[in-house]
């Protein structure tokens, strides 16, 4: 998870990287459903698509 978090911070910046890491961690611990995690990404898809250059990477 640590390697993944460092990549997220480098790729999306601290705030968005932390948001993504929190969602991934909450999903991993069963605190939120997969549906809720997917909903978070969909809500932020414009940001992630803009940063990655494709919707597929989001």
What is the pLDDT at residue 21?
86
Is 16 in a helix, a strand, or coil?
A: helix
Span 14-56, pLDDT tens digits: 888 888 889 989 999 999 999 999 998 888 766 666 655 544 4
State the CB neighbour count (10 A cutoff) for residue 58. 15
Is 53 in a helix, a strand, or coil?
A: coil
List the one residue out of 5, 24, 23 whose CA is nearest residue 14: 5
List the one residue out of 55, 58, 40 whose CA is nearest residue 31: 40
Dihedral of the alpha carbons of 21, 48, 13, 28, in degrees to the nearest 10: 0
Say whether pLDDT at 4 is over 80. Answer: no
């Amino acid at each position: 998870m640590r390697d993944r978090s460092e990549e997220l911070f480098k790729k999306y910046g601290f705030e968005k990287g932390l948001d993504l890491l929190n969602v991934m961690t909450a999903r991993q611990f069963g605190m939120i459903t997969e549906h809720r995690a997917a909903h978070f990404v969909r809500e932020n898809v414009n940001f992630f698509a803009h940063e990655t250059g494709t919707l597929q990477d989001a």
